[in-house]
Structure 1
Amino acid sequence: MNEEETRSFFECYLRLQRHPRRLRDFIEILHLNSVITYEDCLSIIKSIKRNEPVNHEIIQSIPNKCRKDKLLHCLKINPKLYTSFKNIFCKTHSATVKTPQLICANGTNDSYINNFYEMLKTKALRSGRLEWNADFKRWADHLSSVLQTMPHGTEKRNVADCFFVLLDLQAVLEKRHEADKSHLWIRPVFQTMEEILCETSNPSLSRLIFQSRKGTACAQSHQFGEVLKYASLVLGDIAMFSSGKQIGSCIFAVVNMYLQYYSSLCRQSRIVEALGYKKQILHWVEIGFSHFSQEERDIQLNWRRVYLDKKVYCHLGIDILSRDIPGACITDTDISEANRCISEMLQLKDGMEKLRLLHHFVAYAKVSRLEGSLEVAKGYWKEALNVAEQGGFLSEVAVLKEHLSFTASTAVPIEDIVSHRIPSQHDERRSSTKEDRKIPQENTEDFSQLEPIWTEMSKKLHI
């Protein structure tokens, strides 16, 4: 299969995963036509029956062993599978395929879709406590209805782009604010995103965003077989694009996926493998820094804070849910590098969003505890808990309460916390002042300010 056919195959396979019986039929058909071996077929079927992750290496090798026409011929014995695969292949090739290297990462209608995306997302995330508000639900329902009735054309793609942005925001907010994250990866929002991505103006970019969101949800739900599969798909698709803020966001998603898998390996005492993924995390953090180095200064600084946040967590053995990672190897070098990153984040404190502020306090607490200052650590955990409660980060609230449950309820006064210096070998940190350590509270945006944005977009899309 060529590159586009391979993409279509993986898209079909991802849909089949929601239907175990059809997936099993598909695997058996491939075996009967000598596309995969009996051993591979048996291995996958056993995994399906046990509800365990499928060996994704077997699936990834199929496009190299089977042409599109042969695959469709094989599937004719199962009409449902045949129709599913044929429709995707035909839809993919119904229009001229763009050369991957020439695809614009910001989409063909970035003049206003990107503005809609950035403004909507920034206001929503900055508010902290915002969940899937009724207004957003109303907009999404409206766009879904319009999308089903519109004829194919530019306007329909524009509507699909707006709908995809809203769904993407919903996925982010559910991921951030849901208390129980064990079922995030099977939420309906991902199914809807996957269903409409081919309708958007840039399906390749939409698919990449979908894969990164779904993979991160799998990481938070501890579905590590799925995590590795989606991380691989994202890294493969990233190579198609040379720039774009959304590409940097997808790289960050891989960092999150790997950090949670690293946590799993440490818990299983698979130290050698864990250290390998730790190196990968730090490698992709550096790639992320580099990716945003040519962006406007505000964007560059915002994403530097985001990546520094995860770099600190990696060095200190903290997973993406702000839990300590049992078995993580934390060296003096790790502590020193974490202190350096924390110091840099303090210099970038202006405009820091609530979730980043929460992680900042968690990092301070971990360093303080590692250096023997338990009382100071308790104070930072208390401040982190306050931010978590204000921002509606319910899973972090539970984690921080666990941290505080085994200690006395009294915390160090905040005046002492902000003036406390975390010891370091660097002389320049000794000049830190009380003012340097203060992190201002963020100004929240009123949700009502989003309505004019929606009204403007509706006029431009004639809906």
Structure 2
Amino acid sequence: MATVDKQLENQEADDRTLVPIPCGNRKYMNVLERNILHSFFTSVLLYVNPLPLIRRLAERDQVSKECCNLIEAKSENSPYSFSYEILGNEIAKRMSLRSFVFVLFSLNFTQLANDLLGFYTEYTRTKCVPKVSRTNVGNRRAIQQYFKFIKKQVHEFTFKNPQADLSVIGARIKQRIELEKSDCKRQVMYDRYIALKAAEIDALTNRTDDIDPYGGAFADIEQVLDKSSNPSVSRVLLYGRKADVLSSLGRKEEGRGMLKEGFAYANATDTCLESVDMVYKSVVFRLSELEENPSSQLKEQLLAEASRGLHELNEEDEDVKIFWKRLFVLRMIYCHLGIGKRCKIFPNYEVTPQSLKEAERLFSLDSLNNLEHRRQMMYGVAKARLQELQGDTCMSSALDTLSRVMEIAIEGKYTEMPMIRQYLSCLSQRHQEF
């Protein structure tokens, strides 16, 4: 398919070619342009149905059919802002803001194009925007494989004391960095150090919610961010984890600020596993919000965000795809069945027949062979909840499943132990009454 700019080269020299938005040869939106488009969509077009525009864009291959199908599927039960958020992310990765204005003109959305131009002019005149330059993530395959490997080891319970063991390994890497004379090799080693520290944070959050989001491994990463090969990507790993910890501490507003910071850097880089990790942290954050305030709006937000994460995995290798897909699908099942971030069952949460059916469908997508230690526990809770909701005849199966889950939680000393114990006690009491 020809690029947008190429398609428009043959157009007559009218006002469409005089769009005052500099972009050079960029085929994507920088952070400023993303912010402008997001603000335009969520303010000027907040009450305008986005489907006519989205369908026309899809017809011209300016957005993917998958994006269009996802938005159409969610349109009945979601506010327009969700559709615009998905659309904005898709467009921003395909063309510059200037090219998008050209596309609007070419599709005869003339008033919309002029409104966007006026909004751009006013925005750049009055707003101070943080300068985050878009970067190419380069060949990060090796460090991404390392990050996945370490994260998998944590889930598999390879380390008896993962946080302490990873801390020791990190100290050794730090010593090697100090002895290394090659700047290039030092950068690679800092990348590994940051990935290791991110995994250390994950290992710690598996054991406790009482974590200082500005100390310990967080501070260790902060100190070396600018020495890594891609500081923007390193900040994505950092801010997503800060948001996760802050949500566990009940500091939701701070957490939302960290998510915003993380996505600013994630959107300023090409899609990579770190940006997928950021989307996953956002899904978990939304699950903690849903637990506090169950609503169909938050539920749809979470499911749309998880779908976005799954979509971004399309270009990854199969083993990487399976690893991350299981994370996203697990949280989607939790959302449908009313299970919180830490395995707490939502009190008085209505699980609709549609949600029950969707949870069953999601379970059927994967045989769940070779699940890591922690993931056995997490999926086990979901399985027990599904068995409970399938009726009293399945209650014995639910109890058996949850009893095994409790053994895993105790063995791993996971934070979810009290919630699982409470759920097991609740099911046991119901079974006795039955």
Same fold by TM (over 0.5)? yes
Residue 162 (str. 1) matches residue 169 (str. 2) = no
- Identify if the C-alpha distance between structure 1 residues 328 and 228 changes in structure 2 by more than 3 Å, giving closer, same or farther: farther
Deviation at 1:338, TM superposition (A): 0.8
In the alignment, what sits opposite 1:424?
A: none
User: Contact conserved, 2:31 with 2:267, CA < 8 A, in 1?
Assistant: no
Deviation at 1:206, TM superposition (A): 0.3
In the alignment, what sits opposite 1:460?
A: none
User: Contact conserved, 2:31 with 2:264, CA < 8 A, in 1?
Assistant: no
User: Contact conserved, 1:171 with 1:213, CA < 8 A, in 2?
Assistant: yes
Paired with 1:361 and 1:111, the residues of 2 have a C-alpha distance of 32
In the alignment, what sits opposite 1:397?
A: 417
- Identify if the C-alpha distance between structure 1 residues 65 and 248 changes in structure 2 by more than 3 Å, giving closer, same or farther: closer
Residue 239 (str. 1) matches residue 259 (str. 2) = no
In the alignment, what sits opposite 1:219?
A: 247
Where do 1:28-427 residues align within 5 Å? 100=134, 102-104=135-137, 107=138, 110=140, 112-127=142-157, 130-132=160-162, 135-145=165-175, 147=177, 153-176=183-206, 178=207, 180-183=208-211, 185-266=213-294, 274-345=295-366, 347=367, 349-373=368-392, 374-390=395-411, 392-406=412-426, 408=428
User: Contact conserved, 1:255 with 1:281, CA < 8 A, in 2?
Assistant: yes
- Identify if the C-alpha distance between structure 1 residues 409 and 357 changes in structure 2 by more than 3 Å, giving closer, same or farther: same
Q: Can you give the 5+ residue segments of structure 1 that lack an aligned partner in the other structure? A: 5-60, 69-91, 267-273, 413-463
Amino acid at match of 1:399: M
- Identify if the C-alpha distance between structure 1 residues 115 and 278 changes in structure 2 by more than 3 Å, giving closer, same or farther: closer
Deviation at 1:406, TM superposition (A): 4.0
Deviation at 1:204, TM superposition (A): 0.4
- Identify if the C-alpha distance between structure 1 residues 159 and 225 changes in structure 2 by more than 3 Å, giving closer, same or farther: same
Amino acid at match of 2:417: V
Deviation at 1:304, TM superposition (A): 1.9
- Identify if the C-alpha distance between structure 1 residues 115 and 302 changes in structure 2 by more than 3 Å, giving closer, same or farther: closer
Paired with 2:324 and 2:347, the residues of 1 have a C-alpha distance of 28
User: Contact conserved, 1:131 with 1:174, CA < 8 A, in 2?
Assistant: no
User: Contact conserved, 2:338 with 2:351, CA < 8 A, in 1?
Assistant: yes
Paired with 1:64 and 1:213, the residues of 2 have a C-alpha distance of 33
Paired with 1:229 and 1:298, the residues of 2 have a C-alpha distance of 33
Paired with 1:198 and 1:366, the residues of 2 have a C-alpha distance of 45
SS of residue in 2 equivalent to 1:364: helix
Deviation at 1:306, TM superposition (A): 1.6
Paired with 2:430 and 2:391, the residues of 1 have a C-alpha distance of 18
- Identify if the C-alpha distance between structure 1 residues 369 and 122 changes in structure 2 by more than 3 Å, giving closer, same or farther: closer
Aligned residues: 313
Deviation at 1:3, TM superposition (A): 5.8
- Identify if the C-alpha distance between structure 1 residues 103 and 167 changes in structure 2 by more than 3 Å, giving closer, same or farther: same
Deviation at 1:320, TM superposition (A): 1.0
Root-mean-square deviation (Å):
3.4
- For normalisation by structure 1, the TM-score amounts to 0.60
User: Contact conserved, 2:236 with 2:274, CA < 8 A, in 1?
Assistant: no
Amino acid at match of 1:339: E
Q: Can you give the 5+ residue segments of structure 2 that lack an aligned partner in the other structure? A: 1-29, 33-122
Amino acid at match of 2:161: E
User: Contact conserved, 1:113 with 1:161, CA < 8 A, in 2?
Assistant: yes
User: Contact conserved, 1:278 with 1:314, CA < 8 A, in 2?
Assistant: yes
Q: Does 393-402 or 232-241 show the bigger shift? A: 232-241
User: Contact conserved, 1:309 with 1:356, CA < 8 A, in 2?
Assistant: no
Paired with 1:255 and 1:410, the residues of 2 have a C-alpha distance of 32
